[in-house]
Amino acid sequence: MNASRYDLIIFDYDGVVADSELLNNLVLSELLTECGLATSLEDSLATYMGRRWVDCVPLIEERLGKPLPRPYPCGMDPPLP
């Protein structure tokens, strides 16, 4: 049996260890622009920052005026219930 070189691995899913909001919203703004909804980073941060993806979808579809293509860009499908 090989000894692991790590004693602990931390998975940060809530942004406490690493703030991923800026990068997440940069990617989101680019994806929305590709889908036909021109969105700047500043607009994305102001509108979607801190929200769950499942809460963003209705806002995006309302602004877009139509449903987002399925599957969502980059596999950003909402989690199963």
Nearest of 37, 36, 66 to residue 48 by alpha carbon: 37
User: Which two tokens mark 35?
Assistant: 């889908």
Tens digit of each residue's pLDDT, the chain (81 residues): 566 788 888 777 766 777 788 988 999 999 899 889 999 999 999 999 989 888 999 999 999 999 887 776 655 655 555
Domain coordinates in residue numbering, the chain = 21-68
Cβ 15 vs Cβ 21: under 8 Å = yes
